[in-house]
A and B are shown apart, each in its own frame.
Chain A
Amino acid sequence: MGERVLLIEDDSRLADMVGEYLGKAGFHVVHAENGTRGLALHGREPADAIILDLMLPDADGLDICRQIRARSDSPILMLTARGDPMDRVVGLEMGADDYLPKPFEPRELLARLRAILRRRHAGPKPDVLRYGRIEIDRGSREVRLDGAPQPLTGYQFALLLALAEHAGRVMSRDALMDLIKGEQMEAFDRSIDVHVSRIRAAIEDDPKKPRRVITVRGMGYVFAKAQD
């Protein structure tokens, strides 16, 4: 039998559909229509993962999230609505592992659910930068896209890390060179631009139309803060 997912969602028609969809992917979904029942069900038999709606008839989803987190370490995926005044930071501070705004792509839900389960199995890794589907693991110096490790040289990893640590800021080539000057550089390839195209080949869905490492003409590169 597949992994057990507790879905706390007041819209029962949506819950049925999510149950059916995730069921096809091999999950066993248990539905609770409000926060109180969700807490009770989880207390009786802890789920492997919890999908929690932010708006519940009897309680604030954030509150339920805090209560679950207080007594269990099952990963939590919060369902919000785009443009909610509550932004992801609040949800993640309350102990949620990830959040997904409605209306979501069903495949996106599946991917996020698998990601939080995988991370839970792998144990806590505080030294990981996470941007959408990319994980940059500073401990093992590894980059993963959808959980799959991507081939990068040490220099390229350092370059990507320097960009990702300054996500949302334009980084000039000189600034990047300064940040990674301690790294062992491949003798024959001195240009940052060449390394950037290698990085793109590894992490972009379409390296010709980069969405993660973006060029600003005459200035340098930006690692996108908002991805996917």
Chain B
Amino acid sequence: MRRLYLQVYLTIVASLILVVLTAGLLWHFGTAFPPFGQQFEVAGEIIAELVPPVEASPQAQQEAIDRLAQRVGADLALFSRTNEPLASAGRPLPPPGRSGRTGGWLRTAGGPAIAIPLPDGRRLVVRIPARQRPSALMLAAFLGAIALVVALGARPVVRRLTGRLERLQRGVESLGAGDLRARVKVEGRDEVARLAQSFNQAAARIEGLVDAHKMLLANASHELRTPLTRIRLGLELADTPSERKAELERDIAELDQLVDEILLVSRLDATEQLDVREDIDLTALAAEECARYDDCWVQGRPVTVRGDPTLLRRMIRNLVDNAHLHGQPPIEVTVDRQNDQAILRVSDHGPVIPEGARDRLFSMFYRIPGRSGPKGSGLGLALVKQITRRHGGDVAYDSERGSCFAVTLPAV
């Protein structure tokens, strides 16, 4: 990618080169344009006063030309209306051609010369001596110096303009990376400044929305659980038959679990970083979660990972719950280490999930088509995916080992 400041700068430099070239060409063909032609006419009127009239003797004309040549220190030649040489001084000069009354530049062997038309039709050709002529090199150096000064002066201006754009870009990038407090300094009053201002307004709005979202999450957890607690207490205080009571308790637990998972999904969406990071023995954590079921076994060796113990516990619990709910016992959990990766596998003895369904296993509320049986919250595996990703790992369905989910996490 060509950087913007370079593009703008190169445009300016290219324009300068164009100006130099145009100036050179104009200089070259300049005689074709007034007022160049006019100045020759004026010069002709003045010279006509200094040389004898056209009727004077050739000798008188020659004397006048000699005098003039001596005074201006140039080669001179006087030609008649029909290009006949009338008088000359210094080195020979070619006739001016048949261009009528207009004057102009001539190329001669000894250097550029000018033809000046006199009012009576005669023409005087003057070759300016080498030391007085402006050399092409001098002209180029002169224009080059101007170009250099402009080029040097333009650089900081262009740099300043694009520097602001680069600062704005850094601001957008850090906002995108999750720093919601990222703002840029508003400099100047042009479009770039307005863009910076709009960015700041947008960032403030996003920050406000995310804050409100977090606030809602923090309160929702409590607000939803208070009525659940009331129901639970009411059940205890009412004279409910024990079988019905156990069923209602399970319903409450299920609802509580659903609230928990929905809030956790939202919280993981809203925050970029882990709140807690500590060293955790993944095998021990798996053993604790397996102990919740009779037909669940853990084996492997101790592997330590860094992360949030509550989230990792939830990850293992969801995988074990999923195997218990949709698979066949016994459930086997193995924890192993391969290079710098911890690998946790949860497998059961149920049928392997069909290939077509595997891609969507980790989507929210996905249910394998045609499968009946108990229904979970629909968030369990989606949460597993979110939690593993948040810990720099991943989860996949590993059909080579039967019905098996494999989690990889960076090991300590």
Contact = CB atoms under 8 A, between A and B. Distances in A.
Interface of A: 11, 13-14, 17-18, 20-21, 54-55, 80-85, 87, 101-107, 168-170, 209-211, 214-219, 222, 224-226
A210 B297 CA distance: 12
Interface in B265-305: 267, 275-276, 280-281, 283-285, 287-288, 290-292, 294, 297-302
B284 A102 contact: no
Interface of B: 218-219, 221-222, 224-226, 228-234, 236-237, 252, 256, 260, 263-264, 267, 275-276, 280-281, 283-285, 287-288, 290-292, 294, 297-302, 309-310, 313
A85 B232 CA distance: 23
Contacts of B221: 81-84
A106 B232 contact: yes
A99 B27 CA distance: 93
- Interface of chain B, helix or strand or loop or mixed? helix
Nearest to A224: B288
A225 B288 contact: yes
B237 A103 contact: no
Given A168-B280, A214-B291, A55 B219 contact: yes
A107 B260 CA distance: 22
B233 A211 contact: no
A209 B260 CA distance: 27
A54 B218 CA distance: 11
B230 A11 contact: yes
B226 A11 contact: yes
| B218, B237, B288, most chain A CB atoms within 10 A | B288
A217 B230 CA distance: 42
Given A55-B222, A83-B264, A222-B288, A216 B298 contact: yes
Nearest to B334: A217
Nearest to B226: A11
Contact of B256 (A82, A107, A209, A215): A82
B40 to A, nearest CB: 92
Contacts of B275: 85
B302 A83 contact: no
B307 to A, nearest CB: 13
B222 A54 contact: yes
B237 A17 contact: yes
Contact of A102 (B226, B276, B313): B226
A170 B288 contact: no
A218 B334 CA distance: 11
